[in-house]
Amino acid sequence: MSEQVPNQKFEEDEQQAVHSNIERDESVLAETMNEFDPNKDSNAQTTINNEIDVSVFEARIAELEGEVKQAKEGTARANAEAYNAQKRMEQEADKSKKFALQRFAKELLEVVDNLERAIENANEQDPVAEGVKLTHKALLDVLNKNGVEVIDPQDETFNADFHEAVGIDPEAKADTVGTVLQKGYSLNGRLLRPAMVRIGQ
């Protein structure tokens, strides 16, 4: 009988401890819920309802896209202008090359004229005449390689762009070159000297 009393006492103490822990757990849970309950905690910070205005971002995106488009167009225009400037410079350089010899070639025409006069007045039996002919031909070949071409409009229709009428040829047809007094020359299609001619009426 005396042995059962301590055991009973131990069981009662153990049940009280378990009961105490359960009550304590429930009180801790209740305290925690009360602590985070915004309805009961007057000092709690309430969450602000922050609605994002998407239209603001859409407007900014559209603005940036417009700036990108303008930048691309500006770059394209700059590239086109640079390309055009390069082409103009190349054309000017090409033109300068073509017509750099214009003055020099024009002065050489007097030498050609003198050689032709010498050939016309030379004796066919004179060996010097043959040398003059060869010199004349070689000079014309060099001029031709550099873009100089002869304008010899005998019996052609008169063209004021390349011919200069200095008289009337009664035996020639109307508006036709009858007599060529002096041959003309062009340099790469540009007139160096017009041909002096007589034309029919």
In order along its 201 residues, the chain shows pLDDT tens digits of 444 445 555 555 555 554 555 455 556 556 666 665 556 545 545 555 556 778 888 889 999 999 999 999 999 999 999 999 999 999 888 878 777 788 888 999 999 999 999 998 888 788 888 899 999 999 999 999 989 999 999 999 999 999 999 999 998 899 899 999 999 999 988 899 999 999 998
CA distance 193 to 195: 7
Long-range contacts of residues 14-19, Cβ cutoff 8 Å, at least 24 apart: none
As a whole number of angstroms, the distance between CA 67 and CA 195 comes to 62
Query: 151, 150, 154: which is closest to 140 by C-alpha?
Result: 150
pLDDT value at residue 7 = 53
Burial category of 148 from C-beta neighbours within 10 Å (exposed 0-12, middle 13-18, buried 19 and up):
buried
